[in-house]
A = this chain, B = another copy of it.
Amino acid sequence: MIRAGIVGGTGYTGVELLRLLALHPKVNITRVTSRGDADKPVAEIYPNLRGFVKNTFVEPTIENLLDCDVVFFATPNGTAMRMAPDLLARGIKVIDLAADFRLKDPAAWSHWYGEPHACPALLSEAVYGLPEVNREAIRQASLVACPGCYPTSVQLGLLPLLEAGVVNHDRIIADVKSGVSGAGRKAEIPILMSETGESLKAYSVKGHRHWPEIRQGLEQMVGKSVGLTFVPHLIPMIRGIHATLYTVLKDGAPDLQSLFEQRYRHEPFVDVLPAGAHPDTRNVRGVNRCQIAVHRPLDGDTVVVLSVIDNLVKGAAGQAVQNMNLMFGLDEQAGLSAIGLYP
């Protein structure tokens, strides 16, 4: 059994990791840390875990994590980069669900995250954990940077088009809508139910931290620089992301439905819907799955891709487990074969 530690077990990605790992057939949850709730039983904070998770929160120290084979960081940005070097040096694999290792360029990281990177040398070593793009590298990796929730939905939606080179890459628009759990479990007025219920807004239109991450991923696909406009929106629901992606076809474009189906035919967690379909975020609720549809409105040259995920699963904890499965040579689907909750 793989011995797993979770640093930062009191946020939404942390509890989602616990939910998935507690029933994973090859994993023991060895340590769960929390600075604020140390010594409390995990299931006291999260009653859904009663009877499934027996752990008690411990302090987030290196010592407390030494008996782990892998440590997940479900922490705010800036935590993993301070602990990862020590863990890696001791042969413990690290999977970061935050942003510390997502960007390759330390200067870009520092610009967007507002402080110098604590271990810039690790940025090149870290593997970006999008298995549909980097599966083989992930298998060999000791340090995996799980993609953000927005970047996962956008990159999976655009991957077939950009790899095939059938669309212009200088004016891509990603209009993306997220449930409020994406904002985390923080005591802040703007994410109260009275503030976000029954309302909708865009935010960070000026520039959002997921923009450089998405652009980096798209540029890797297309092999050259990409023009990207990314606008995130906050939606009055808890889970789910819906990316609506706009690009322009080059001349002589192939059948797009086939292009998508071919690209993803062996992918266990990407499901291309039939032509003409419109994915609902609810159909992937609670599961590690991306559902995608591709359209050409009025048969014109604009391509619209619709891509949905559960931000906490394929957009965070589920993808982290998928990466762990790859890193440890397990069945990629181990612990991830649930069906979306409907309704």
| A residues apposed to B, CB below 8 Å | 12, 15, 19, 22-23, 46-52, 171, 173, 175, 177, 179-181, 183, 185-189, 191-203, 205-207, 211, 229-231, 233, 235-240, 242, 244, 246, 248, 271, 273, 276-287, 291, 293, 295, 297-298, 300, 302, 304, 306, 308, 337-343
Closest chain B residue to A279, Cβ basis: B201
Considering the chains assembled together, what is the distance between the CA atoms of A302 and B89 in angstroms?
46
Residue of B175, B235, B295, B341 touching A285 (CB-CB under 8 A): B341
Q: Assuming the A-B contacts A186-B189, A297-B206, are A12 and B279 also in contact, with contact meaning beta carbons closer than 8 angstroms in the complex?
A: no
Q: In the complex, are the beta carbons of B233 and A236 less than 8 A apart?
A: no
Q: In the complex, are the beta carbons of B306 and A246 less than 8 A apart?
A: no
Q: In the complex, are the beta carbons of B23 and A338 less than 8 A apart?
A: yes
Q: In the complex, are the beta carbons of A200 and B48 less than 8 A apart?
A: no
Chain B nearest Cβ from A209, distance in angstroms? 12
The number of times this chain is found in the oligomer is: 4
Report chain B residues within 8 Å CB of A179: 198
Report chain B residues within 8 Å CB of A246: 173, 175, 229, 246
Q: Assuming the A-B contacts A187-B187, A198-B282, are A51 and B271 also in contact, with contact meaning beta carbons closer than 8 angstroms in the complex?
A: yes
Q: In the complex, are the beta carbons of B177 and A237 less than 8 A apart?
A: no
Q: What are the nearest 3 A-B pairs in CB distance?
A: A199-B282, A48-B340, A194-B343
Residue of B187, B205, B233, B306 touching A205 (CB-CB under 8 A): B306
Q: Assuming the A-B contacts A192-B185, A202-B244, A342-B46, are A207 and B280 also in contact, with contact meaning beta carbons closer than 8 angstroms in the complex?
A: no
Chain B nearest Cβ from A244, distance in angstroms? 6
Q: Assuming the A-B contacts A19-B339, A205-B306, A304-B205, are A238 and B198 also in contact, with contact meaning beta carbons closer than 8 angstroms in the complex?
A: yes
A175, A199, A240, A282 interface centre (most CB from chain B within 10 Å)? A199
Chain B nearest Cβ from A221, distance in angstroms? 21
Report chain B residues within 8 Å CB of A291: 47, 50
Considering the chains assembled together, what is the distance between the CA atoms of A237 and B51 in angstroms?
26
Report chain B residues within 8 Å CB of A242: 200-202, 233
Chain B nearest Cβ from A276, distance in angstroms? 7
Closest chain B residue to A298, Cβ basis: B207
